[in-house]
Structure 1
Amino acid sequence: MGTSGPRSNDPEVADEPACITTIAQTVAKAIPKLRTAFETHRSYEGEDNPSGEEMLAADVYADELLESRLGKLACVGTYASEERADPTQVGTGLSVAVDPLDGSSNLGSNNGVGTIVGVYDSELPASGRDLVGAMYVLYGPTTTAMVATDDGVTEYLLTQGQRKVLTPSVSLPDTGTVYGFGGPVPEWSSAFRRYAMSVQRRLKRRYGGALVADVNQVLSHGGVFAYPSLETRPSGKLRLQFEANPIAFIVEQAGGLSYQGDCSVLDTEPERLHQRTPLFVGSPEPLAELIETLGGAATNPTVTTRDSPWE
């Protein structure tokens, strides 16, 4: 279990906003090499990652590249990745948890993929409340990044390793226009099916199978993304440290809500590094309806997320 105490006691590390900026800049500068790897590293390695998923050569390349770049930063103490079993100690600073290539199976069909980074002021595994920053990169027709701190969310255009602000303050509308739901429909719970039927009557479906791309639709247009628990995956599919916590942090900092079936994703108790969780994120109104439909308001009255239905 992660500790709740801070890791940033060193004066060079304690300036968390500067560290997050440095991490974001470092990831941006790695983008050209990552883009090249999409063309040259498309085969499967024949090995599984710690979550039991077969790795592409691009997964391994992205992991090694980001570890080599982020591990050299003075403000980073631990590097952890979805592609490796244990964290790597690289210094005495903050902890970064990385999904190096989210949705890598989409490379074969030339659909969207991404990179997710969570920056924790705690040992890993850590609570989402220990996040001091998070970002994701979307490799679409253009390469963009959403970077979140306690001050809000900024969207950047990434070109040749440089960042240009696209949206200074990303803010989710109350309702929105799109939804994207993952997992086989027959394995959804009856309560979630009822919710899905309600949402389909008024929102447009946008789902491509890469978390970053699907959540970016929600952050761009408002709405809701969900990957619920399934009959064959009662704990959900997405990894708490590498995917769910950073995405929930970004969405909540943009004025939205997150939920995992009992509480805000960020309040989930961390038990192990590769822990899985259901994930629901999006605009306040559709998330409040989801929470009510799944019975969350009755079972967890302690969540204090902004615009929370429990307040």
Structure 2
Amino acid sequence: MDREQVAEQIFQAVAQAAPHIRSGLLHRREYVGEENPSSERQMEADVWANELLKEKITNIEGVGELASEEEEEVIQCGEGLSISMDPLDGSSNIPTNNLIGTIIGIYDKELPTEGENIFEAFYVVYGPLISVMRTEGDQLNEYVLEEKSGDRVEPHLASEDIRIPEPYVYGFGGNRNWTEDFRKFHDEISEEMKLRYGGAMVGDVNQVLHQGGLFAYPARKDAPEGKLRLLFEASPIAYIFKVAGGASTDTEQSILEKEAESLHERTPLYLGNKKLIEKAEKELN
């Protein structure tokens, strides 16, 4: 089985699971009293979605290993592609019924590795509709999932060959502990664009991909290494932005060039139009 076929099976597996994940949140909105490997509080939904997607993905022929934000170590499951997964991005939004998502990266190399080794990436947004932003070759395509009878899910191509438009919106996280340099950078950006920030990376980057602009979760006074995980969040989304004609940085280099030294490594993250990424590197490096 070639890697395109494996990637298609992964996409279909996650697409079929997505409505079950959204409906399953109803009775899984509490914290379980434990932390994930990144020392973040786990919700019942985090644990459940991780187990559901893990079972589906590791049983696909051509998947060699799976790394999840909710798992300490890489799960070996055969020979083939390496998969990174954030089962429920933004799960702290669940109690207030705000946006959450799922992020998948498909790599040609064993994990941890650089984002340059991503072959395909996609993310799911659980909103009024369930949508998927998926790279396919040199295109970024958006699908909307329709539930059919018999638990069947049909992906409909909603937008093809998406290109990031001219800047219009921005979303910056971690504002209580911004550095002075970043606060000045924010003040400049806020005069030019509208704020759109919802606390779930998938929702915020989805705004930027559709409307143009900049998403950032920078290095902070209390977290100079950043907050977002390189393998599970930053690299797959950076790859998506690259395919859409955008760019990424940690203010020193492209996220896709950044060497992954550990599985749960964190990074500062900037995603958006190329000229805004250049501005961030110039003013914040």
Give the TM-score of the pair, scaled to structure 2: 0.96
Q: Which residue of 1 aligns with 2:242?
A: 252
Is the contact between residue 149 and residue 253 of structure 1 (CA under 8 Å) also seen in structure 2?
no
Q: 1:172 aligns with which of 157, 164, 167?
A: 164
Distance 1:118 1:17 in 2: 14
Distance 1:294 1:194 in 2: 10
Q: Does 1:153 align with 2:145?
A: no
1:28-48, Cα deviation, whole Å (9 max, x unpaired): 000121012211111111110
Q: Which residue of 2 aligns with 1:21?
A: 8
Is the contact between residue 172 and residue 283 of structure 1 (CA under 8 Å) also seen in structure 2?
yes
Instruction: Indicate the SS of the match to 1:122.
Output: coil
Q: 1:110 aligns with which of 79, 97, 101?
A: 97
Q: Which residue of 1 aligns with 2:200?
A: 210
One-letter code aligned to 1:261: T
Instruction: Indicate the SS of the match to 1:287.
Output: helix
Distance 2:19 2:171 in 1: 29
Distance 2:194 2:175 in 1: 19
Distance 1:193 1:150 in 2: 37
Q: Which residue of 1 aligns with 2:67?
A: 80
Q: Which residue of 2 aligns with 1:284?
A: 274
Q: Which residue of 1 aligns with 2:77?
A: 90
Matched length: 280
Distance 1:182 1:150 in 2: 31
One-letter code aligned to 1:196: H
Q: How does 1:1-311 map to 2 (within 5 A)?
A: 12=1, 15-160=2-147, 161-173=153-165, 175-185=166-176, 187-295=177-285
Structure 1 consecutive aligned stretches of length 4 or more whose deviation exceeds 3 Å: none
Alignment RMSD: 1.0
Instruction: Indicate the SS of the match to 2:135.
Output: strand
Q: Which segment is superposed worse, 102-111 or 159-168? A: 159-168
Distance 2:232 2:136 in 1: 17
- Aligned-pair distance for 1:18? 2.1
Unaligned runs of 5+ in 2: 148-152
- Aligned-pair distance for 1:147? 0.5
Give the TM-score of the pair, scaled to structure 1: 0.88
